[in-house]
Amino acid sequence: MEAISKPEKVTRLDLDLEENNLGPGDARVVGEAVAKFQQITHLELRLDGNSIGAEGAKAVGDSLAKLEQITDLSLRLDGNNIPNEVVDEIRHQLEKPGRTVVLRR
Read off the CATH number of the domain in which 67 is found. Answer: 3.80.10.10
Torsion of CA 99, 54, 45, 19, to 10 degrees: -160
3, pLDDT greater than 60: no
Query: Is the four-CA dihedral 6, 50, 75, 82 of positive or negative sign?
Result: negative
Domain count for the chain = 1
Closest CA to 21 of 52, 61, 58: 52
pLDDT digits (tens, 9 = 90+) for 25-79: 999 999 999 999 999 999 999 999 999 999 999 999 999 999 999 999 999 999 9
Q: Which domain holds residue 67?
A: 2-104
